[in-house]
Structure formats: C-alpha cells, structure tokens
Chains A and B, each alone.
Chain A
Amino acid sequence: MSSDIENLTEKTENLSNDPIYDTNWCHMPDDIKLECIGKMDFNERMSLRCTAKAERSLVESKKIKFYECDIHRASDVLYDDGRNHYVSLTSKKWNSFSKTFENPNNAFKSMNYIWKIGVFNNLSIRSNDPAVKEELMNYSGKISAKHIELDCCDHEIVAAVLRKMNYDVESVTQVQNTGYWLTKDFKPTASLHNVAQILIDRDFNIGFTFQLSLNADGSFAEFLGHFVDRIVSKDEKTVRIRTNNPDRHILLQRGLDEVVKTTYRLQFFRLMVISAETKESEYDDDCKKWISQMDSEAYFDYDAFLNDFYYGVFQ
C-alpha cells in the first residue's frame, strides 16, 4: 500500500515537472498536413490514408511522383488462369514497392487510388485482360504521366488511356505482341487512325508522340483513306494531316530504312503533333532510335553476335 502511494507520488511529481503539450497532428491546419504528406513516401501515405476518413481525403488530394508504374499480368505461363495481376511502383530509381494481386479487383482498388494521386515518369500497362480494359474504361479520373507504354493492349485500352490522359503526357508507345492479335473482333489497323482522331478531338500539344508497332498490314493505307480530306502532304513513308487547330498538324511516319524493310515481321509507326509551320526538311527521318525503343531485336546484328560467341567460346 505504502509502495503504491510512493509510486503515485513519484508519478505525480514527474508529471508536474514535465511540460504539458496538447498540440498534435489533429491540431495542424490542412495546408500544413498536406505539406507533411508531401514529404512522406508512398507506404506512409497509404498507412495514413487508412487511419481515418478525414486523413484519407487529405492524402488523396496530394499528388505523388513515381519514377515508374508497371501493371501487368504476373505470368501467362505460370498462372494459366490469367487472373494474377502485378503492380510495381518505383518512387525513385532505387526505391520500389510492388504487390501481386490474385484478384484483379483488389489490384484495381489500389490502381484507382494510384492513378488519382500519381504523377508518373513512366507508366507501363501490359495486359489484355478484359477486366483491365473494363476498369480503365470506367475510371473517371485523369492519368498523369510523361511516358506511357502499352504492351499487349488492344486499341480500346489505348483509346481509353488517351482519353483519360492529362496534357502533360509527352509520349505513348504501343508495343504489340503477336500472340494477342488473335483476340476475337480485334482490328489492329484501326488503332492508328483512331489514335489520330483522339489527338485531333482533344487538341493534343505540339510535341506529343505516339509510337506503334504491329504485325498486321494495311494501317498506312487505312490511315490515308480515313483522313483523305485532311491530307497536307504524303509520300511512301510520311503522311501529314491538318487538325481542327490551325496551328497544329499531325505527322504519321512509317519506320522504314535499310535495315527495317517492308518485309520485316513488324511494322513501326510514329504519330507526332507538330507545328503547322514545320517544314518538311525539319522532319526527323532517322527511325532507328524510336524503332529500337519498341523492338530491341530490329537492329541486332546476329552475324556479329554469333561470330563473337564462336570466337569467345572456341578460341
């Protein structure tokens, strides 16, 4: 009993010696909270978001920069059901966060939040899953990214992404895997003029670039046919069309040179929004760089590789 009283006295003494502070996170004005949230990494923001409704709305109002966001099906070989989705986020080049979702709906719950708050340097979507398409098409917000890469995505996903993009997007690359072209009712050649139409409708900024690789023929001719009334100039590798904005034109380039020829297994196209003042002499005709971004094998020298390999191993 006496020891209890002593303890209590000691505690009371300590209490009276310590300064009493009442200020806490809840006393911070929202602008300060937002400033603090801005200094937090993604994981801490996710945790804070789960503490209370008020914190959730604050966290969701603060943008976060990601170096990379990669959404793809985990593996079509290992998981034949095709329902495993993998989301990987990299806030800086060396700081990654990734998660695999067995149920794509769980992945989308996260993705809706991530799209809402994320400002991506690179955003990569590699999936032809109907659930991904549906979710993207139903997403009502905007996607903010500098470069977007769409792999194995059909033209409806491309159109959905283009319509939801903020104007800060500099480039979109659509890389097609031959395996996915067998999808029922899929019209690969429709992509090119559909994309150009969206660029016209949304009046995309000068400099915006859309790159596409596909293994079906006819895109170039179909593009010409679709925009016959808008053509400013054309030759065998380029078509220039006018947009609804008198200051902007769209240039379609077909990637052809002495290495990548019409007989190559893939066709490469680049759509660019250019100034109406741009002269033909100012076109960038060197397609090697942008084709290499989509197909690293296009310029790969197999003879030299085999030669090096042979001499490296056997001599």
Chain B
Amino acid sequence: MSSTEQGTSSAAPAEPTTAPESAAAPEVPESFYYVHGKDKVVHKVSAGALQHSALIHGMISNLGYTEEQAKANPFPFENIDGDILQMVVDWCNQHKGKPTPPEDTNLPKQKEKLFDLVLAVNYLEIKELLTYCCKQVAMMVKGKSPEEIREIWMIPTDAEDEAAEKEAKKRAGKEAAGETAAAAGDAK
C-alpha cells in the first residue's frame, strides 16, 4: 500500500501523520491502528477507515486500545494473505466516511484473488465490500452453461465427488489399519 494520509504500509509501524489543520476550526487528530496479514507487513489504517470492518471496530471498542498500544500490537490476521489485506485496507481507505457507490470497478477480476478477497472480507465483516464481491462472483458465470460454470469454478461432478469420498474412506481405513499394526508391533 502506498503511503496516504490515512495509512501506510511497512515492515514496522510508521509514525502516525496528523490531519491538516483547518483555518476555521482545529480538527481532532485522527487515531490510527495497525494490522498485518500472513506476510507480517504492517498496514497503518485510520480509525475512520476501519469503521467498515465490524470485526476490527468491535475489537477496538472492546479492547479499548490506546494508539500507543495499537502501534505496539498490530492486529494479526494470519489467515489473510498480504496482498489481499492490502486490497481490503485500500478499499477501506478509499471509502472512508463516504457513501459507498452502487458498483465498485476496482475489485480484482481474477477468480482466485476474488475468492480469497471474499473469504477475507467475510472474516473481517465488511458488509458493503462483501456485497460487491459476491456480485462480482455472480458476474463470473453470467450467461455460462453448467459445464462452463463447473470448469470456471472447478466444481467436481457428483461422480468425482463420490470417487473422492471413496478414496478418502479407503485412505482413512488404511491409515487406521497401519496404526493398529504399529501398536501391535509396539506391544510385542
């Protein structure tokens, strides 16, 4: 993520920037929090941008973090890839304090990234972004036949599903038999 007024990304938390002062009335400096994904890259995000995430907003409210504490302990999201978290942070910054538009053209078009984004957004409870993402997922199969959908989304056929289930059962049975034999060997 490029450095912006609302946030920066770096390997270590950066110093918070203060909002520009208005000539009419001095604005209250904005609070910033820090998050990192699987890649440990820390993203600095304003409290306003994080309002989009019900999960993070709840964490902030419940934990009563001060800015210093937040800086020392970034919120860890080990289950989210760094580039996906970057997208989420960017979206939150872009839509900070703004009414969300009916369409979002900046969402990734590649299906793999989109599905990862959907999972991340669902986990972080960002309702509006989830709505956009789901719409984008639905658009992927617009006008497609069942076979095409199966191919695009790698949906196994019922026969493939059954075969995989049988295989898994067989494997589990073999493993159980192996464990029993090993236990019998140990007993001898």
Contact = CB atoms under 8 A, between A and B. Distances in A.
Contacts of A93: none
B142 interface: yes
Interface residues of B, number: 32
B74 to A, nearest CB: 23
Interface string A26-57: 11110010011111110110011111111100
Given A44-B144, A47-B149, A52 B119 contact: no
A29 to B, nearest CB: 7
Nearest to B130: A35
Contacts of B122: 29, 32
B149 A26 contact: no
Nearest to A43: B143
Given A24-B154, A48-B149, A40 B118 contact: no
Contacts of B142: 41, 44
B146 A28 contact: no
A52 B141 contact: no
Nearest to B116: A23
A25 B153 contact: yes
A310 interface: no
Given A51-B149, A53-B158, A39 B118 contact: no
Contacts of A49: 146
A31 to B, nearest CB: 8
A35 B115 CA distance: 13
Contacts of B116: 21, 23
A44 B141 contact: yes
Interface stretch (B5-13, B41-49, B99-107, B132-140): B132-140
A38 B156 contact: no
Interface of A: 19, 21-29, 32, 35-41, 43-44, 47-55
